[in-house]
Chain A
């Protein structure tokens, strides 16, 4: 590749090395150091005048330093008269802050986008942005690559009897992503909803109805799939019924059985009363955002209270694949897996995501959970070697080929839209 330089930042040197290897080039020499006072110093060891420059920098645990490093690197290349600078950011940092959370929240992802453009980036390449709308934050072109095809390929090859497995979203917000994967694998999907406010009454109602539903479900299962031809103008449209709601209670982030829950009754009553008082004080209130954002990480405080977890869909006797764009905190994954395994009869539970952030002891907790069979992520985010060795459930899919191909095509001015489907699983 003539007139092309690839710089690899410190955040994820391993991925950068793999991408360069695939491209058949060496990473361009540069020294990334820190002064004693904590400032980052960047020196580019090769001429970039009139060259096509790619800077690979992902998120990492010391995220702010690496963002600064990326900005300085881009700015240095701009100062060195590079023709075009592309920031390759496999896992876009701060991408969870892509909308106003709560009131008066900052849209930090947009700010970061502005910073990148200010520093001099002409083009941004990323993978599975938390919300695809983030592409609109930039005034320069953004290519959002998909990890989905690689994950789908892994599922096809490694999940036993995948045609009968179910893709599950652990919160309603992620359902869109889940249905896309389910459609591409041509399998069914389900959804989990964790609920903080619902009163005990409804739970006991559900408990009574559960018996009924179980019966109904078993009937359904016998003659599944129930395909009824649409009887009206659209004859080609078939309707498939996927009935079944499963509810269980969650205490401290873990599913508790129906029989052993007496000790929690009193606590539950208290929280119910509190709940009813607070909801009475806003008789007509409520907002989409006021309910704690179900997309995102639960704080330790919230985990203390009792919640209801509901599976909408049917996973009985099948493998369940929990899909999300990133694994950050373990709580919701573990409770979802426990619920499906213990109460809903799932055979095996896989946890699949594009970005494995594994903050804190997330990986260890996922490892410890009996309900989770395997954890699958791509290598967009660096994972500590030590943790990697210790882990038995973790599977890492290499996506460096996608980034390498994207860089190659971009450099030669070829279309990268093929990467979105066919080539992506190479």
Chain B
């Protein structure tokens, strides 16, 4: 049992999730000042003592200005460290740069590894994240990483909001087949796969659907949706193959660029994202968006981590 207490820190932008987590834990966010100088540099100070406390920095990285958020986070970690915090945990549900996790081309950087090194160098002792793009990213860190799953929350959402008896789980690309198959196992459903063949020179690109979706409610699952172009195209393919309706459920709804336009113009019935990425403003623009709240999972993991309890329960179950 820890004898010290929890201090929750959050940057000034995207505080929504942090406030939800704080409410669930029955705590207040620690006062701190984050100022941006006119030249763009960040000044940060914590307004109360954190000496020997357990610090949790809850940060969300949305679309746009990712690098600003990252640097603010690093400065916050470092400020906490120099203020003699006992342990600094970064709660970063949507890990930035997670897609650059390997050398997919010659001479490509592995930026996810760089991010991991930067967080560790700044002084963080523990990382809590959710649905990492590749679970190997856990191995990029020299400090413990708890990779939580949105799946229990997604399963719950499907059971409560979708008539899942007639549903089929769809993976929009080959890489997500495993995710889709595990979710379909969980719900006792079939699953199918859409594969996009890369266009060769002088050849048209085409989408291949593997599996039968006739008269089914198709639930497309993925870990990340960015511009939603692929989702929209996948919906077209599915409906052409006589699907009844198409719903997309993604963990990280980054929804950048023309995403809202793409969703509004697409044949998708609904796009459901967890609130790992802030998209409140976008919900006003797009009636098709829906949200799964995962603050309970984060709050419970913080509580368990602080009290030295096992977190593995959260891998299977969704706390209320």
> Which chain A residue shows the least CB distance to B107?
A417
Chain A contacts for B182, CB-based, 8 A = 286-288, 291, 294
Interface residue ranges of A221-253 to B (CB < 8 Å): 227-228, 230, 232, 234, 236-245
For residue A284, CB closer than 8 A to chain B, the reply is yes
Chain A contacts for B155, CB-based, 8 A = 284-286
Select B209's contact among A198, A242, A285, beta carbons within 8 Å.
A242
Roughly how many angstroms separate A133 CA and B171 CA in the complex, as a whole number?
Answer: 21
Roughly how many angstroms separate A285 CA and B66 CA in the complex, as a whole number?
Answer: 33
For residue A178, CB closer than 8 A to chain B, the reply is yes
- Known A100-B135, A133-B134; contact A288-B236, beta-carbon cutoff 8 A: no
The stretch that binds B, out of A34-42, A186-194, A386-394, A396-404, is: A186-194
A175 touches B174 (CB 8 A): yes
For residue B264, CB closer than 8 A to chain A, the reply is no
A195 touches B113 (CB 8 A): no
Select B188's contact among A172, A197, A416, beta carbons within 8 Å.
A197
Interface residue ranges of A290-308 to B (CB < 8 Å): 290-291, 294-295
- Interface size bracket, B side: 35 or more
Interface residue ranges of A247-289 to B (CB < 8 Å): 282, 284-289
> Which chain B residue shows the least CB distance to A107?
B139
Chain A contacts for B211, CB-based, 8 A = 243, 245, 312
Which of the listed residues A183, A202, A228, A290 has the most CB atoms from chain B within 10 Å of its own CB?
Answer: A290
Chain A contacts for B112, CB-based, 8 A = 136
For B188-213 the 0/1 string (1 means CB < 8 A from A) is: 10111101011010001111111110
A284 touches B139 (CB 8 A): no
* A-B contacts, CB under 8 A, total: 184
For residue A131, CB closer than 8 A to chain B, the reply is yes
Roughly how many angstroms separate A183 CA and B196 CA in the complex, as a whole number?
Answer: 10
> Which chain A residue shows the least CB distance to B198?
A183
Interface residue ranges of B136-166 to A (CB < 8 Å): 136-140, 147, 149, 151-152, 155-156, 159
For B158-187 the 0/1 string (1 means CB < 8 A from A) is: 010000000000010011011111110110
Roughly how many angstroms separate A239 CA and B210 CA in the complex, as a whole number?
Answer: 11
> Which chain B residue shows the least CB distance to A101?
B135
For A28-66 the 0/1 string (1 means CB < 8 A from B) is: 000000000000000000000000000000000000000
The stretch that binds A, out of B16-24, B96-104, B287-295, is: B96-104
Can you report 29 residue pairs joining A to B where beta carbons are below 8 Å apart? A99-B139, A103-B310, A103-B311, A104-B312, A133-B101, A133-B134, A133-B139, A134-B139, A136-B140, A171-B178, A172-B181, A176-B177, A178-B174, A189-B195, A191-B177, A230-B236, A236-B204, A239-B206, A239-B237, A240-B207, A242-B208, A242-B209, A243-B212, A284-B156, A285-B186, A286-B152, A290-B315, A294-B178, A295-B178
Chain B: residues with CB nearer than 8 A to chain A? 101-104, 106-107, 110, 112-113, 134-140, 147, 149, 151-152, 155-156, 159, 171, 174-175, 177-183, 185-186, 188, 190-193, 195, 197-198, 200, 204-212, 233, 236-237, 240-241, 310-312, 315-318
Chain A: residues with CB nearer than 8 A to chain B? 98-100, 103-104, 107, 109-110, 131-137, 142, 144, 169, 171-173, 175-176, 178-179, 183, 186, 188-191, 193, 195-199, 202, 213, 227-228, 230, 232, 234, 236-245, 282, 284-291, 294-295, 310, 312-313, 415-417, 420
